[in-house]
């Protein structure tokens, strides 16, 4: 499918029906990617009204999905949201070379226009990181460059009014997301819809989180000890963005369950392995990347059997993941240099295997007219608002 950037006149109304028992947070995100692609605000740069409608609806949708996956919350009523959907057209020849040539001018124009904003974004990010001594600045959503600059300007204005409070962020990673709080991974979350007062209150409360963070680490170590030395992790790209309080509460309940019904695993038999705790599944799984996905409601005897039965396979997957990562990084570098790209990257939903396959083909069958471009390996063809070219990982000549 090749997508145009014209907004349709049709307004799509629908009730969002989502069963938190059938899909995990990661599964839901993957399942909704085609929908996100059709309605993402970045594709409506020439249609400000439709862009605003979709942006507000997406924020409500993301908040709705995250609320469904928070521990301790009951059922939710279906949500009714409004979206403008982009028209899509099928490329008759399915010829990627032709598509790139026909979209190159538009991409180059958008990319050229975005350069001043990209430079401003990097300057703001560097200045704020240095001034607040931050570990990093990140974004949970794929906002455009202009939106990211706006968010950094908001943080800059806050520094002028509450400089002492923001000093508490020293050493932290700041993530712009849909809610304000401290994340399960210990990052400072700044909700983009929240007012400065809420941000200030969070920065003032940061010292109080240090005690909770120590308790969280101790709890993770205790669970790991009970489960043969396995490491308890929270992978934010695969799990909902939980607050530290929510994550601690879920781990505490899980630990008490393990203590009430002891599992018999050798203290060091699972050392080097990893597990994440989920609230939206009932059956334990082994992820393709090698970590265990354990439901919070999992019965301890069943958990013991599953971990021991799949430990060797998990080690093989972890080893394979590390090998693929090295190969992927080498191929990305070779592709970028060979095609003289300014940037080559992938969407989070593209696996290492898919990226490796794509890069190998780009080296063996070079695509034309990519000099200086930003190329994103995705599942779709598109030109993003800031000039990045998106191609599917399994592109065709």
Share of the chain above pLDDT 90, in %: 54
Has residue 8 got a pLDDT over 50?
no
Q: What's the whole-number mean pLDDT along residues 277-291?
A: 88
79-88, 164-173, 178-187, 260-269 — which is least confidently predicted? 79-88
- What was the pLDDT predicted at 99? 82
Query: DSSP of 105-149, one letter per residue?
Result: HHHHHHHHHHHHHHHHHHHHHHHHHHHHT-SEEEESS---HHHHH
Nearest to residue 335, comparing CAs of 369, 358, 368, 353? 358
Q: What is the DSSP letter of 194?
A: S
Whether 275 and 292 have beta carbons less than 8 Å apart is answered as yes
280 pLDDT band, cuts 50/70/90, is confident
pLDDT tens string 139-158: 987 788 999 999 999 999 99
- What was the pLDDT predicted at 39? 79
The CA-based angle 318-320-323, given to 5 degrees, is 115
Specify the DSSP element, H or E, that contains 52: helix 48-68
Whether 311 and 269 have beta carbons less than 8 Å apart is answered as yes
Q: What's the whole-number mean pLDDT along residues 28-51?
A: 70
Has residue 14 got a pLDDT over 90?
no
- What was the pLDDT predicted at 27? 58
Query: Length of the chain in residues, anyone?
Result: 397
31 pLDDT band, cuts 50/70/90, is low
- What was the pLDDT predicted at 259? 92
What are the two backbone dihedrals, phi and then psi, of residue 93, each rounded to the nearest 5 degrees? Answer: -90, -10
Contacts (Cβ under 8 Å, ≥6 apart) of 14: 80, 81
Whether 108 and 342 have beta carbons less than 8 Å apart is answered as no
- What was the pLDDT predicted at 92? 40
In the predicted model, what is the mean pLDDT of the chain? 84
Specify the DSSP element, H or E, that contains 259: helix 244-260
The CA-based angle 292-183-285, given to 5 degrees, is 15
Alpha carbon of 61 to those of 48, 138, 238, 250: distances in Å?
20, 21, 18, 24
- What was the pLDDT predicted at 156? 93
Q: What is the DSSP letter of 223?
A: H
What is the pTM for the complete model shown? 0.74
Has residue 49 got a pLDDT over 90?
no
Q: What's the whole-number mean pLDDT along residues 96-102?
A: 79
94 pLDDT band, cuts 50/70/90, is low
pLDDT tens string 236-247: 777 778 899 999
């Amino acid at each position: 499918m090749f997508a145009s950037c014209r907004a349709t006149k049709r307004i799509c109304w629908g009730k969002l029906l989502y069963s938190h028992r059938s899909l995990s947070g990661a599964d839901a995100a993957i399942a909704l990617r085609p929908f996100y692609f059709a309605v993402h605000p970045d594709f409506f740069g020439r249609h400000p009204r439709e862009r605003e409608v979709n942006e507000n609806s997406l924020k409500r949708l993301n908040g709705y999905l995250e609320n469904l996956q928070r521990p301790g919350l009951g059922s939710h009523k279906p949500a009714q949201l409004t979206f403008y959907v982009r028209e899509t057209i099928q490329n008759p020849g399915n010829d990627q070379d032709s598509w790139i040539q026909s979209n190159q001018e538009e991409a180059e124009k958008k990319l050229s226009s975005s350069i001043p904003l990209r430079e401003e974004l990097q300057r703001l990010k560097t200045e704020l990181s240095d001034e607040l001594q931050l570990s990093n600045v990140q974004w949970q959503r794929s906002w455009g460059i202009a939106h990211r600059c706006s968010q950094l300007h908001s943080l800059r204005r806050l520094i002028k009014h509450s400089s002492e409070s923001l000093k508490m962020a020293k050493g932290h990673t700041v993530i712009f997301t849909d809610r304000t709080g401290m994340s399960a991974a210990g990052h400072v979350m700044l909700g983009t819809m929240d007012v400065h007062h809420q941000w200030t209150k969070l920065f003032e409360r940061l010292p109080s989180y240090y005690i909770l963070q120590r308790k969280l680490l101790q709890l993770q170590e205790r669970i790991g000890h009970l489960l043969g030395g396995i490491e308890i992790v929270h992978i934010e790209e695969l799990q909902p963005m939980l607050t530290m309080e929510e994550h601690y509460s879920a781990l505490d309940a899980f630990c008490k369950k393990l203590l009430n019904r002891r599992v018999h695993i050798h203290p060091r038999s699972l050392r080097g392995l990893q597990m994440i705790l989920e609230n939206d599944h009932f059956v334990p799984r082994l992820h393709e990347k090698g970590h265990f996905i354990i439901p919070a409601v999992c019965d301890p005897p069943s958990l013991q059997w599953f971990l021991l039965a799949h430990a060797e396979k998990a080690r093989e997957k972890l080893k394979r993941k590390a090998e693929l990562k090295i190969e992927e990084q080498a191929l990305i570098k070779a592709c970028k240099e060979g095609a003289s790209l300014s940037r080559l990257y992938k969407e989070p939903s593209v696996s290492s295997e898919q990226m490796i396959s794509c890069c190998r083909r780009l080296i063996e069958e070079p695509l034309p007219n990519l000099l200086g471009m930003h190329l994103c390996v995705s599942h779709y063809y598109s030109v993003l608002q800031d000039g990045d070219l998106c191609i599917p990982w399994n592109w065709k000549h």
